[in-house]
């Protein structure tokens, strides 16, 4: 039964002694936010699963706050400051406006979906932000001609390899397939490319990638093995890249907090501002579509309105 006031209850407990479970839960959430890397991946990739949805741990705070009020627990209310501070320590920077918002180019990445019923409408939607670079993944042969025709007037340079493509206002040279195939996947699985884009400020290596999907099931847990293997291949390619400037655009089926993406995220930086959740389009809960750079700054990332895809397009302002 809840106590009648903030003083002692019928059992003689004060507001400082009530609510020990709520207090422990507040400490547990704080630990998950700060020490999420300590959660092992050995059983069902629980660590990666937690890190995929890590920002949403913040929703436990209002829930625990309500319980603390119900129990009239002073110690629990004080303890709840810990997860609040931890959450803002980890994610607060993405919410704060930045003083220096200057940028050189706008880039856009979109998993257009191989089941997209309206490729023309999708193309017109992404053109509204007037990007300098456009990366599209999950391209199919029937839809590719539509995307290419609408993009051609503003983007005279483009390259397509397998199901991924890059369109640019500036010249593209040295474009080639990037092999990201995990073990056991056939040669018809081509979901990566690398190209040099000749920008006014200097050449940049642009990577477009679509890493394997992950699965969540009762039997296998969070299945990420193929994605992690492709991420390692992508990370190795970026590590060996001779150009200083690198831009990575792609559906990585992973958030930047997920340790499975460490081979990539340890070598590149992501947005300084903006959550830009991109999946699923109907109710986005995670940004698994990424724009990352080396020797450049992703000043701001944001998601665009839904298209005919199950992903939202994401765009970013990049400063060299």
165 lies in some domain: yes
Q: 134 in helix, strand or coil?
A: strand
The answer to whether residues 130 and 45 belong to one domain is: no
**Residue-wise pLDDT tens digits, 126-174:** 999 999 999 999 999 999 999 999 999 999 999 999 999 999 999 999 9
If asked whether residues 86 and 110 sit together in one domain, one would say: no
Q: Are residues 52 and 124 in the same domain?
A: no
Identify the band that residue 6 occupies on the pLDDT scale cut at 50, 70 and 90. low
**In a shared domain, residues 252 and 275:** yes
Identify the domain containing residue 263 by its residue range: 105-319
Tally of domains in the chain: 2
Same domain, 110 and 211: yes
* Residue 10 within a domain: no
Q: Tell me how crowded residue 130 is: count the other CB atoms within 10 A of its CB.
A: 11
Choosing from 41, 59, 94, the residue where a domain stops is 94
Domain holding 128: CATH number?
3.60.10.10
- Residue ending a domain, choose from 94, 122, 150: 94
Per-residue pLDDT band for 79 (boundaries 50, 70, 90) equals very high
Residue 14 domain flag: no
195, 312: one domain: yes
- Sequence-distant (6+) residues with CB within 8 A of 309 are 110, 111, 112, 113, 116, 122, 138, 281
Question: What is the rounded distance in angstroms from the CA atom of residue 286 to the CA atom of residue 283?
Answer: 9
Q: Do 73 and 152 fall within a single domain?
A: no
Global pTM value: 0.90
């Amino acid at each position: 039964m809840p106590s009648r006031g903030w003083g002692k209850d019928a059992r003689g407990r004060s507001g400082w002694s009530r609510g020990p479970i709520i207090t422990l839960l507040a400490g547990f959430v704080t630990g998950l936010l700060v020490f999420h890397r300590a959660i092992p991946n050995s059983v069902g990739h629980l660590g990666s699963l937690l890190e995929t949805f890590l920002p949403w741990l913040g929703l436990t705070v209002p829930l625990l706050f309500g319980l603390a009020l119900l129990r009239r627990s002073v110690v629990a209310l004080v303890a709840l400051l810990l997860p609040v501070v931890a959450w803002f320590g980890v994610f607060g920077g993405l919410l704060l406006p930045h003083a220096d918002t200057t940028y050189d180019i706008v880039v856009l990445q979109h998993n257009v979906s191989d089941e997209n019923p309206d490729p023309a409408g999708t193309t017109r939607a992404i053109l509204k932000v007037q990007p300098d670079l456009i990366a599209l993944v999950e391209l199919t042969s029937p839809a590719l001609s539509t995307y290419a025709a609408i993009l051609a007037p503003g983007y005279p340079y483009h390259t397509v390899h397998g199901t991924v493509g890059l369109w640019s206002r500036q010249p593209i040279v040295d474009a080639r397939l990037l092999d990201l195939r995990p073990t056991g996947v056939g040669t018809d699985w081509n979901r990566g490319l690398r190209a040099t884009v000749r920008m006014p400020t200097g050449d940049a290596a642009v990577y477009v990638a679509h890493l394997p999907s992950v699965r969540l099931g009762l039997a296998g847990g969070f299945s990420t093995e193929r994605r992690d293997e492709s991420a390692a291949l992508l990370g190795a390619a970026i590590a060996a890249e001779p150009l200083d400037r690198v831009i990575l655009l792609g559906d990585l089926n992973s958030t930047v907090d997920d340790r499975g993406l460490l081979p990539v995220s340890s070598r590149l930086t992501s947005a300084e501002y903006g959550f830009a959740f991109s999946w699923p389009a109907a109710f986005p809960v995670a940004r698994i579509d990424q724009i990352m750079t080396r020797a450049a700054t992703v000043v701001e990332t944001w998601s665009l309105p839904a298209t005919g895809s199950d992903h939202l397009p994401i765009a970013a302002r990049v400063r060299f």
